[in-house]
Amino acid sequence: MLILHCPYCGVSAEETEFAPGGEAHIKRFGPGASDEEFRDYLFARENPKGVHFERWRHAYGCGKWFHAARCTVTLEVFGTYPAQTTEPPQAIRDAISAKRPGWSWREFE
Ligand SMILES: [Zn+2]
């Protein structure tokens, strides 16, 4: 069972109270982007076996979007943080590195 914590209203609840929003931290390139960059922005997604950063919405609560760092294998949640954050907070990266030595993802190595 996946238990998520809403960083806005402080509620911890089962995932059925939340709505998934796909991968977090997807970057959109500027108006001069190539077709390949725009294609990747629209369609290319990570599908890791392990640590993943996702968008979630507290659908049956405050309704706000937030990000969650979790393991797709064990459902362990390393932390949640506001959706306006452009990259995972250092405290969450440290928590992941402590439990998954050698872990790396994109530029958050
Ligand atoms: Zn909430």
Q: Name 99's bridge partners.
A: none
Distance 33 CA to ligand 1 centre (A): 35
Report the SS3 class of residue 80.
strand
Name the amino acid, one letter, at 36. E
pTM for the model stands at 0.88
32-56 residue pLDDT tens: 999 999 999 999 998 889 999 999 9
pLDDT above 70 for 92: yes
Distance 83 CA to ligand 1 centre (A): 12
Banded model confidence at residue 107, pLDDT cuts 50, 70, 90: low
Distance 13 CA to ligand 1 centre (A): 10
Distance 45 CA to ligand 1 centre (A): 26
Which structural domains are found in the chain, ordered by start?
Answer: 3-26+33-99 (3.30.2270.10)
Distance 85 CA to ligand 1 centre (A): 16
